[in-house]
Structure 1
Amino acid sequence: MQVPFSVEARSVSLQEARSLYFGRGELPEALLDQNVLRSWERCRQAGLDPARIECGEPNVRVVAEARERNRTLMSHAQPVLEHLFEQIRNSHSMVILADARGMVLQSYGDADFLSRADQVSLHPGASWHEFERGTNAIGTALAERGAVNVFGSEHFFEGNAFLTCSASPIQDAQGRLMGVLDISSDFRAFQRHSLGLVKMSSRIIEKRLFESEFAHQGLLSFHTRPDHVGSLCEALLAISADGDLVGADQAALELLGLRREDLPRRHYSMLFDVPLGTLIDRARRDPSSLIAISGRNGERFYARLRGNFASMPTGSSSLVDTKGERVTRPAKAEPVMTPAMAHASMTLKSLSTGDERLQAAIDKGTRILGRDIPILIQGESGAGKEMFAKAFHNSGPRALGPFVALNCAAIPETLIESELFGYSGGAFTGARKEGAIGKIQQAHGGTLFLDEVGDMPLSLQARLLRVLQERCVTPLGTNKSIPVDITLVCATHRRLKEEVARGGFREDLYYRLNGLCINLPSLRERSDIDRLIDKLLREEAGPDRKVEVSHKVMQAFLSYRWPGNIRQLNNVIRVAIALLDDDEDVIETWHLPDDVFEEIGEITPAACTASAMMRPGSAPIMTDARNAAPAASAAATNFGRLEEIERDMIQRTLEAENGNISSAARRLGISRNTLYRKLGRF
């Protein structure tokens, strides 16, 4: 067989490199790839002998144990491994899957080469870790955490010099090494495309692992090039129902300039300009279409969302035309919880704003982090129970696990059981044929948050108690029990002790849930409202805009009773910021929603005309185009009707302000919403 010149020349240069390194102790940097040179140095420091010869018979028991230990990797890699071998069949080669320790789990190869590979124990059950087999593609790929070629005499052990190997590591969805994929052959049959094949195949396995790990989340595929979305080059983000980033593959981290440890502190809205609801709407209408989105640093991406949208909010604030361009439209109402408050950067420490009762609750929660103690959070509706639960989850060792929430009062009684426990295919009429995983199973490895648990039907309370005692869940329509590992956090606005006495809640379940009882104060009872307002202003306005409330509004906020608690305060601030003009950065009373504006006493039927006649700090209203108060008095004389007075006053004020709604509303001392409503009535 005629040996290609390039292979022969490379073999000669490697012999020179070995002579320099092993004979003279010099570093042949010009003759060796840096990956190989670093590996040689590690092997020498470990005291390995390059003349050592390794051989041995496979241990069936060891192989079986290793395969069982790596069952997830095996299940996703097996089809890829078989397909890869079909691509290289009859090339005197073999394909190998090894685990994160370098142990060979599976191999396929041509018979003539397998017999030679057996001579150096290149078979299942053998470890090819660098410190056991010297420089080799499997062990060196693990050590370098990257794809490598090891050709002929680049192998540290002389007995392995007949091999040429190309290997690429495999990472799981969390970026941890799971194993290595390798193509090995006789060095004289070296193929330049082998490294590309293993890199592509390992990427397929990683993608399968990622999609399996986050099968119950939304998966965002994106890239700077539209033709790369849907290919192996695409980047993948896993997004929870509330927009938290729960996973990212390496391509996504690189495109977004993130580190993996940054993920718990990031929310979808911090990365892209198109609202998540827009992507969800688009995916439901046309799952295969792409949408153009921009990153926060101006990068342009093309994206497609797929996966579980059942619990995700909808409501787009943009449409996409046939060219994939975004067209703005009026935004629909969004949940009152801001993304900044909902995403994973929220921790118990971040909730602290100075109130003593809240701080006591935070201190209690902090002390039991990582302990198997359930929490029962009590407080009025809107007091921040789910916010506290999410912060507790993000502060503990389960922060990277799922946070799964279920509102027991928001789901019909007939559906709570299937939502909580899941069901098998065909379990009941109308069920999906493939079945569904319940909230308890979805929360495996993380936190299950049951909101308004006091509203759970008695019939389900017994089943929930059994799950908590046995740590297993049995979906509807099956007798199979599935082990679950969850931390349980419950919340209710009811007094469960009273419900137990009344017979509306099981006493044994109450004591099971009530490991630590935390009572959250209502907003009107808190001493830190001003600091909480400042915090919400920063989160809502964003880092590039400084917004504050006037002294008058702050005093009104401090004296207001806030029946909707934090949820209402947050909504009021969102509306007020939205009503600010571009040149405004101070929230005044006329920026508040009408209901709050009226409740805090800024508008009464008797005061309406007076507030229009003189806005605090403004000049008197004159009869010419600059003011309207005397004209209003004349209207009162001529018509004698309050509605006509009001209409004439508004018309003249608008004329004086050249039709500017915002300026007219400020001059009249009413909100823009109120002015729009009055204009519509007229």
Structure 2
Amino acid sequence: MRKKKHLEDRSDVAKSWDRCIAYGLDHAYEPVAIAANSLQLEDLARQYEELLSSTEAEVLPYYRNVLSNSRCLILLADQNATVLKSWGDTRITETRLKPWFQEGSNWREQQCGTNAIGTAIATGRAVQIQRNEHFLKLHRSIIGSAAPIFDTRKQLTGVLSVFSDAYLPQAHTLGMVRLLSQSVENRLLNRQFAADYFQLTLNTTADNFDSPWSGILICDDSGQVIASNQRADQLLGTQTSDAILDDLFTTHRNHILGHAEHAPMQLTTRSKVRLSARLKRPSTVAKASLEMTASEPVSANHEEPTGFAGLEYGDAAVRRCAEQSLKVLERGVPVLITGETGVGKEVLVNALHRATHRRNQPLVAVNCAAIPPELVESELFGYEPGAFTGARAQGSLGFIRKAHKGMLFLDEIGEMPLSAQSRLLRVLQERVVTPVGATESVPVDILLITATNRSPSASIESGQFRADLYYRINGLCIELPALRNRTDKRNLIQHIYRQHRDPVQTETLSPRVLSALDNHPWPGNIRQLVNVLRVAIAIADGENVQIWHLPTDFLAEFDSTAFSPASKTDSIEPPDRVEQAPSKAGTQRKSDSNDKLAHTLRVYHMCKGNVSNASRELSISRNTLYKRLRELGIR
């Protein structure tokens, strides 16, 4: 994957040189930078006021906190390659190049040949131009990285670039400029639409909503997408502009837009990809009405659990996973945790850390999917001062060295780039780590736990994961069961409810609510269960939780579940025909029965659990309603 990307970048340079030759440029040509007058600069500032302010809001904090000690210069240019603003150290440039970094100068390829700004505009994607890749000899003393910025209509509106004269690795610089340009695009979306439209933030896990790499959908109250960022298109695998939420997800748009604000929800795309989502309502609506949001009450008597407390409440499979993992970890053998997303991998890791002899040493958890590929190596292995453009003056220890004498947890390890995989393999084999830019290795002593919800064998076959690293981390491979398969599900539900309930609410859920939760398919597992309970507790607002307090997307997933008859007496087929393939009529009757039960659940929810009103609305007797509710597991 990374090799393909490298070849693609080099191909961009070759094509740019072909364009330069077609323009009639010569390597020795030295164009003159034409300075803009004050009126032209004022006009540019007015025209790009929003782009300038949004970029400055993202770049300035990053520059002050990360880049202030680096020899680099950041430029913002418009879609025509005209420089609008610069930040940073102008000493990186030779005197004869200084005019090119001033506001008003122009870097279009037709004039300046192959360069970061002009070539990013020509290709429409992020590029890095090394010294000798510049077409004109004039610019071969600098290295440039640039990424395009697209407006809310996904039209090119500008380019953000970083220039350096350092003879140092530049992959981190390219990753940084991509990150900043994505942050600017997200800020432009938020500024233009936050007041009047819904914002749906998407990511692979609920832990990463605030990442610049999250997908963003802006939609109106009918569920039509008004705008989106490019990351949303990538996550959904389709162009989202002008789409309807119903075309993108299996959950109805009313359930999505009716979800509690800021409370995570699980959505499945039409291509069967499961994503975490967070809803933000229009700020004008939020100011006009009081929104109910889930909040986590803080117990004054809260104590940190010890050992495996809170991990399982009678499930033998989970207990066996924990006990076996602890035994091998204490002998220094790595553990690989597999299982669906949301099954509690992080909870198990925390429990193992508390149970080991290293409980008083650090536990460092890293989500490999949340780090841009270009920054993984520096974040994991650390770096020396000045190792690359953007490096902190004091350098960085890196996550591995921070876990020294303790435990390192690498979540979603299947997302780790191949280059980082090879370095991690050396760390595990030799028990030493070499920071980026360093020549000497540092000994490390760590217990390693990794986790993935991918199939390791499939990743190895596709070339995305090294087989030798897999065998190194796979000392003991355990699979945590999905919530729907756990034998202690009811006890676990009651425990999580007690953790989050209001003090005035009962200590246990009612049998009806517990049965509804117990019979749910839980595609999002424990993470989804926690969110559903927190929303229900918030909506109940001090009252005891009832069926109608459960969120609408929870009931929508219930609607799509095939309900099984409660007993054999309800079966339509005689016993001697059970083994036969179902007839068309039998299949139709089963489908009608499922639709009837789903409709019953919706009406019961609408009537807030009032049996008399629900039976009247359904035009059935109370006894018939009770029978259907028993089939649903509610009564």
Q: Same fold (TM over 0.5)?
A: no
TM-score range for the pair, normalised by the shorter chain length:
0.3 to 0.5
TM-score by length of 2: 0.45
Structure (1 or 2) with the larger CA radius of gyration: 1
Relative to the length of structure 1, the TM-score reads 0.42
